[in-house]
Each structure stands twice: as structure tokens, then as C-alpha cells.
A and B are shown apart, each in its own frame.
Chain A
Amino acid sequence: MIATAYAIPDVLVFLTSALLILVGAVGVLATRNPVHSALSLILALFGVAVAFIAQSADFLAAVQIIVYAGAIVVLFLFVIMFLGVDRRETVRVEPLVGQRVFAGVGVLITVAGLITLFARSHWVTGAIAVSSSGQPLATGSKNVTQLGTAVFTTYLFAFEATAALLIVAVVGAVLLARRERSVDAEGSQS
């Protein structure tokens, strides 16, 4: 963490992603209209994808765009329009007195604790000693190879469990969203 001279492009990329993430995240919870919130969410997710690319996680950046911006946010928008809940958000009253103040204090304590943990401890567990694997992370298509090798060997069992989880989720969504009426096209979207 000693401040040496960092390459200007890297700093610019970081600042871009930070700007995208923070503006998008604040936009999600500051706008009234749920559609605007969903669009702000896309902005934040793009920022995270930029941060992924800057840290040599190319495959994950692509998946981030495809899965999050391409599927999850579209699912959100679809549900918003299906329910017709845009601009239905109630006025800004607080049903619980002081809820926002308490939430703000709690979040501030949490964030301060996290940053302190990052700054003061030796990467929390001292895990540098067990970084093992030896080879540094590759970028580009090598990153896909590396990640694929890890997923299909070391984490194969978790990967197979993921398949079962997805099947259960799809069946559950179809069952939840399908009632006696004929609006059953919604749950099978993802």
C-alpha cells in the first residue's frame, strides 16, 4: 500500500469503474421509479465489469454483462412491467421512527469496520502464505482456460451441485408464478 507511481491508464480505469459503480448504486436507491432503479443497476453492474477486466478476470466480466445486465436486469424490468408497479412507490414517510438514521449509523459502522479490517490486518487471514498455485493469473483466453480448469477439476462437485440448483430454481419459479390463470409465461423466462 505504499504509494508508488501507478500507471496513468490503470488509475483512469479505476476511477471510471468507481464512478460508474457509485453513481449507479446511489441511483438504485435514490430514484422513485423502479424502472430507473433497474437502469441504474445496469450502470453499477457495468462498473463492476470494468473493475473485473482491470483485474484480469476477463471471463467473469463477460459473464457479468451477459448474466446480470442481459438476464437478471431484464427479468427485473419484465416483472416491473408485468406488475405495473412503476411509480407506485409510496411517499417518503417513515413507518418506523428513525429507521433511516439507524440504518445509516449501522451502515457507517459496517463500512468503517470493513475498511479498517482491510487497512490494518494482514489481509485478514495472512493468506499470502497459502497463495500456492504458483502461476500468476493469466489474461485473455488464458484466463478462460485457467478458470475452466479450476471449475472442472477442483470445484467439480460444486459445479454439479450448481446444475441441480438451477433446475430447482427454474421449477420453483414456474410453480410460484403460475396460477390458475393463463399468465404462466413469466416464470420460465430465465
Chain B
Amino acid sequence: MNVPAAWYLVLAALLFGIGAFGVLTRRSALIMFMCLELMLNAVNLTFVTFSRTLSDIGGQAAVFFVMVVAAAEVTVGLGIVVSVFRRRSSTSVDELSEMKG
């Protein structure tokens, strides 16, 4: 018998937490994007786990779409990072503070 779904769910929760901590604490926009990928993967792992538990292929289809959206998001996000870097030669998100109220 396969290992219980709860193990994978707890693993996914830990992965999500690590990714969220990285997004909240790191400064570099590139590292924040990587941590965002970690969080997306945690959600994907949860989807696949529930897909197995419920014997429903819909979970895997959702993961498929999440991957597509993640690829598009990274493409556009890195384009933004590149153009911001051209303007101020830094990727630190702390320096983008013109709109601070």
C-alpha cells in the first residue's frame, strides 16, 4: 500500500511555508521569483496528492494549467526584472520606492 496522502500534504505545507518565508524576507527580485516557484510547486504537489486520493484526473489537469501559467508568469516577470535592472542597475525590491505614500 502506498504511503498515506497526509505525509505528502504535510510535505507540501512545509514547502509552501519555506517559499512564503523566502518571499517575505529576501530582497532580490530574482530570489523572490524562485521562492514563488516553490510555493506554486507546493500547491501542485497538493493537487496531485488529492488527485490520487480522490481518483480524479481533474487534479492533474489543474497542475498542467498551473505549470503553463507559471511559465508565462516567469517569462513576463523576468522581463520586468531585466527592464528594471537596466534602469537602476539593481534588482533589490527595496529600492523601488517611488510610489511610497
What is the interface of chain A, defined by CB distance below 8 A to chain B? 1, 4-7, 10-11, 14, 17-18, 21-22, 25-26, 28-29, 34, 37-38, 41, 44-45, 48, 51-52, 54-57, 59-60, 63-64, 67-68, 71-72, 75-76, 79-80, 82-83, 85, 88-90, 95, 99-100, 103-104, 106-108, 110-111, 114-115, 118-119, 123, 127-128, 131-137, 143, 146-147, 149-151, 154-155, 158-159, 162, 165-166, 168-170, 172-177, 179, 186-187, 190
**Is the Cβ of B63 less than 8 Å from the Cβ of A57?**
yes
Give how many A-B residue pairs fall within 8 Å (CB-CB). Answer: 253
**Is the Cβ of A22 less than 8 Å from the Cβ of B14?**
yes
Which A residues touch B65, using CB under 8 A?
Answer: 155, 158-159, 162
**Is the Cβ of A60 less than 8 Å from the Cβ of B63?**
yes
A147 to chain B, nearest CB (A): 5
Q: How far is the CA of A7 from the CA of B3 in the complex (A)?
A: 8
Q: How far is the CA of A4 from the CA of B18 in the complex (A)?
A: 30
Tell me the residues in window 30-83 of chain B with beta carbons closer than 8 Å to chain A beta carbons: 30-31, 33-35, 37-38, 41, 44-45, 48-58, 60-61, 63-65, 67-76, 78-83
Given known pairs A29-B26, A34-B28, A68-B37, the reply for A190 and B71 (CB within 8 Å) is yes
What is the interface of chain B, defined by CB distance below 8 A to chain A? 1-4, 6-11, 13-22, 24-28, 30-31, 33-35, 37-38, 41, 44-45, 48-58, 60-61, 63-65, 67-76, 78-83, 85-86, 90-92, 94
Interface of A is mostly: helix
B70 — nearest CB in chain A belongs to which residue?
Answer: A72
**Is the Cβ of B85 less than 8 Å from the Cβ of A85?**
yes
Q: How far is the CA of A106 from the CA of B17 in the complex (A)?
A: 9
Given known pairs A57-B63, A166-B68, the reply for A131 and B17 (CB within 8 Å) is no
